[in-house]
Structure 1
């Protein structure tokens, strides 16, 4: 009898920390969003097995629907990375989901370790600093180790508890906090892995599933990166050979690329893309491969790669660095690095031996750097079921860019087959990493989610995706055309 009150208090504490534990939402302003949003927090146990232990505050934001009587199923958005906060890109998400936002609330969740939710941020290399500081793998590894040791001293610093499996349990607490029985779940890049894990654990809570740039749980990310980047680069080289203007200006682009790689390492002088300072830098083969991979993400950047490769082969590297730096966010909305490694080291690194042979030009450097970082990284527990994609009980839409260097169609096709007859895989041959931004795709996604019946959702026409061309190769003025 004497122990009963204590047991009751412990049970109540467990309910508070594992359940919604909602602080009332309050009006807030979000970057890039014109209208007022509502922001809230759910308090969660860092370790679900210890409800009386350290906690993390999971931040979420709601972009209210324009309609007076919105649909009961909000759109819940999961960002990429792993490590990107969703609230920081609220303006971008609102533009992507504009029509959906007229009838449905849009819910943004900063997964644990990202954005404002117990962030596991490291001091990223200064984009205005010397280029040599970010080009040295040993320096990057040392900085990451120092960051990890600093974060482990925080109250929520046990890095074993920052996995996708635990993160989506927080997401379900947010769903309950906003009072939604079911949600329309949209994930991009790594967010697709989180969405698949959410549906695995909470299938009854999903009404529609949209995956843009599919990164399935069995992907073994570091190994896949080399293979997929190689395929994207080969696709560009093929496209140049088929393009009259590109072939005329760069008649031996493959040989030029091979010549560039064979000339490395070498010391070069170049202009810093942001500061305009002239710097001298030792450029390695691995660094050039990394720059090219970064430029392959967006077709508009990719179109300028033939010219940048030709310039670099002639000793002028300014264009290649400028393309690669185009994707850096100068406003500090980057990736929470320690969260990124907590996820990859727990979920991908242990399965590295089952990965693929590296791409011809990209090699194993990327995988090797991850292996070095993960060697001493605390690893969370990942249930075996995490790696299995189960049949989807609801309509699922998978989007892939044919020129995507990181989540190309082969991953979407495999995942769609596992999801079963209610899954549709749409490939936009000319698109890169991220297809939702394409106008006609965005409208079709609206119809897919807005459809009243599952049959109508699966019948939505996505034929426009096949007609989207790859951007024409940029041919600089001068020389043959």
Structure 2
């Protein structure tokens, strides 16, 4: 009897201990977040903060706070694997873009938590923000030397911050932060969705923590070995040439803009020149010297979105007549949303560490018109910008252990299909690459793609996850060129 009592007592003690551990783990996951409100989202959400060492090699050194947002699943019987959204840039705040992407993730949110983490250097996570330049005069924006001085001043100010050692803002370190958040939330695995630079982040997380990934969606693939400042030239040139050719092939556009290609060449040849326009945001009249560099950066913005690209022929034609308001307006639209504003300190920290050291070592030929405009800017900035140590393995893409869905827009001026094609081969058999020929930068935003993402992630088995049918998006036509309304006066 004594022996029996001892055995039962031992079993009870073990059960009590296990129950305490389970309750403790559950309590930790629940206590990690508190109720919060995010502008642009109607319901109360859960926000959390996790302290991490700025330098992982110095656990007792400066600490930074990693802020994250959890949008709880709507259903009570939710799935155990959340969906992690990785923001673009580099430099976007994931929490800042959450209101803009919730509609396309709504069905996934029925039974899965959605997680948004402000990557170190962005949002509220040890932010590396430079001054907002959206209301600078157009002359100040066009002045390359002044722009470089502002970046240099920003760097000096950032380095004075408690978290201002810019050597510790690499993608590799950030993904270690992300995995710490996963552990804090108590998720064994989660699903990754990354767009633009977020695809590089997703690939790096998958490289470091393959056992923690269930499914991956990467939209507008920016591989780790992509030298962005150099590839951008060729890709923007290809997108611009495609738009000029599309106008020539579209009867209505060719009739309305019969000399569009020649007008574009003449416009570039006429620069620099003094122009007069109204500021797109302040509406104040300004005169400034428009340079070739500024013109190329202005025309790049609308190429990201086909509906905006359709306005390019009219803007070019107007500019050849001395009317630059349309071009100025198009150029300002991409940076006008507060949620998509880049933390430039984080942006340069990533690019200067991961891309700049490899510039000039590849075979990427610059575009005919675009040249080395962006490469020269990053070369100058990165000369004095502190750099993180990037492991050699960062540039490798190992075969995927779980299904990966790659998405590309055929009209994308920065991450066109050619980059995803190469990465799909490296990832291996568990991948599918979907190309939407007439889409720009970002395919997930297309209406029917939310259903494709849902089917891919919700599939019960890896075998059922791929392939996916995206015919609804692939057949979307290119928007026709904008035709200005010609007003005619009616005689009384």
Shared topology, TM-score over 0.5? yes
The equivalent residue for 1:297 is 304
The equivalent residue for 1:470 is 478
Cα distance in 2 between the residues matched to 1:393 and 1:275 = 52
- Deviation (angstroms), 1:333: 4.8
The equivalent residue for 2:85 is 77
Return the index of the structure with the highest Cα Rg.
Answer: 2
Please show how residues 310-325 of structure 1 align to structure 2 within 5 Å.
Answer: 310-325=317-332
Cα distance in 1 between the residues matched to 2:31 and 2:230 = 42
Cα distance in 2 between the residues matched to 1:130 and 1:23 = 47
Q: Report the secondary structure of 2:69's partner residue.
A: strand
Cα distance in 1 between the residues matched to 2:360 and 2:425 = 24
Normalising by structure 1, report the TM-score: 0.93
Match of 1:172 among 160, 176, 179: 179
The equivalent residue for 1:388 is 396
Could you say if the C-alpha distance between residues 23 and 50 of structure 1 is closer, same or farther in structure 2, counting changes exceeding 3 Å?
A: farther
Cα distance in 1 between the residues matched to 2:374 and 2:467 = 41
**Does 1:241 find its partner at 2:252?**
no
Count of aligned positions = 459
Cα distance in 1 between the residues matched to 2:43 and 2:446 = 24
- Deviation (angstroms), 1:311: 0.8
Please show how residues 341-380 of structure 1 align to structure 2 within 5 Å.
Answer: 341-355=348-362, 356-380=364-388
Q: Is the 8 A contact 1:22 1:43 kept in 2?
A: no
Q: Is the 8 A contact 1:271 1:279 kept in 2?
A: yes
**Does 1:444 find its partner at 2:419?**
no
Cα distance in 2 between the residues matched to 1:372 and 1:379 = 14
Structure 1 stretch displaced more, 201-210 or 330-339: 330-339
Q: Report the secondary structure of 1:341's partner residue.
A: helix
Cα distance in 2 between the residues matched to 1:155 and 1:430 = 46
**Does 1:138 find its partner at 2:145?**
yes
Match of 1:460 among 432, 447, 468: 468
Cα distance in 2 between the residues matched to 1:226 and 1:22 = 48
The equivalent residue for 2:203 is 196
Q: Is the 8 A contact 2:29 2:186 kept in 1?
A: no
The equivalent residue for 1:88 is 96
Please show how residues 3-402 of structure 1 align to structure 2 within 5 Å.
Answer: 24-125=32-133, 127-331=134-338, 333-355=340-362, 356-402=364-410
- Deviation (angstroms), 1:69: 1.1
Q: Is the 8 A contact 1:399 1:427 kept in 2?
A: yes
Q: Is the 8 A contact 2:409 2:435 kept in 1?
A: yes
Q: Is the 8 A contact 1:23 1:42 kept in 2?
A: no
Could you say if the C-alpha distance between residues 22 and 54 of structure 1 is closer, same or farther in structure 2, counting changes exceeding 3 Å?
A: farther
The equivalent residue for 1:8 is none
- Deviation (angstroms), 1:331: 3.5
Cα distance in 2 between the residues matched to 1:298 and 1:459 = 27
Deviations 1:333-361 (A, max 9, x none): 51000100000000000000124121111
Runs of 4 or more above 6 Å deviation: 20-23
Q: Is the 8 A contact 2:220 2:408 kept in 1?
A: yes
Cα distance in 2 between the residues matched to 1:366 and 1:263 = 21
Structure 1 stretch displaced more, 163-172 or 448-457: 448-457
Deviations 1:287-345 (A, max 9, x none): 11110011111111100000101111121111011111112235365100010000000
- Deviation (angstroms), 1:42: 1.1
Normalising by structure 2, report the TM-score: 0.91
Q: Is the 8 A contact 1:389 1:419 kept in 2?
A: yes
Q: Is the 8 A contact 1:413 1:425 kept in 2?
A: yes
The equivalent residue for 2:435 is 427
Q: Report the secondary structure of 1:353's partner residue.
A: coil
Cα distance in 2 between the residues matched to 1:23 and 1:368 = 48
- Please list every run of 5 or more consecutive structure 2 residues that lacks an aligned counterpart in the other structure: 1-27, 488-492
